[in-house]
């Protein structure tokens, strides 16, 4: 008769063990182009937002948790609005001043890229 330890240690029986490295790869995935134009949103002063970095969110330009469920190794950019105002948030994920659009989406590199693929 086996002890409780054999049940709690599946590796001891030759079972494949899931390691954190398999769930959270060390090399993060690349961001993908979500859209090729920015989205204008009104940010409210004092409110915290999570801008999608991976480009896989269905709630662009904000995070919906896709980076986690698709195991990208990426994290959203959390920021707090300093004032209430309309802003253009990047959706091509190539901006040099995230989360705001800086016009990079007009470049040939972004315009030739497929939506849903990395740059």
Residue 26 contacts residue 73 (beta carbons within 8 Å): yes
Q: Which residues contact 17 (CB under 8 A, 6 or more apart)?
A: 10, 11
Q: Which is nearer to ligand FES, 40 or 71 (CB)?
A: 40
Binding site for ligand FES (CB under 6 A): 38, 90-92, 94-95, 101-105
Q: Which is nearer to ligand FES, 10 or 107 (CB)?
A: 107
d(CA 67, CA 25): 12
Q: Which is nearer to ligand FES, 92 or 113 (CB)?
A: 92
We find the least distance from the C-beta atom of residue 71 to ligand FES, in angstroms, to be 24
We find the least distance from the C-beta atom of residue 38 to ligand FES, in angstroms, to be 4
């Amino acid at each position: 008769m086996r002890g409780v330890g054999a049940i709690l240690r599946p590796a001891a029986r030759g079972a494949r063990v899931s390691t954190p490295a398999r769930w959270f790869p060390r090399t993060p995935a690349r961001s993908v182009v979500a859209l090729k134009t920015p989205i204008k949103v009104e940010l409210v002063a004092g409110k915290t937002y999570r801008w999608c970095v991976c480009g896989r969110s269905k709630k662009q330009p904000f995070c919906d948790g896709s980076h986690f469920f698709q195991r990208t190794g990426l994290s959203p950019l959390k920021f707090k609005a300093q004032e209430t105002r309309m802003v253009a948030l990047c959706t091509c994920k190539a901006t040099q001043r995230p989360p705001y659009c800086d016009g990079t989406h007009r470049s040939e590199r972004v315009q030739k890229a497929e939506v849903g693929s990395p740059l």
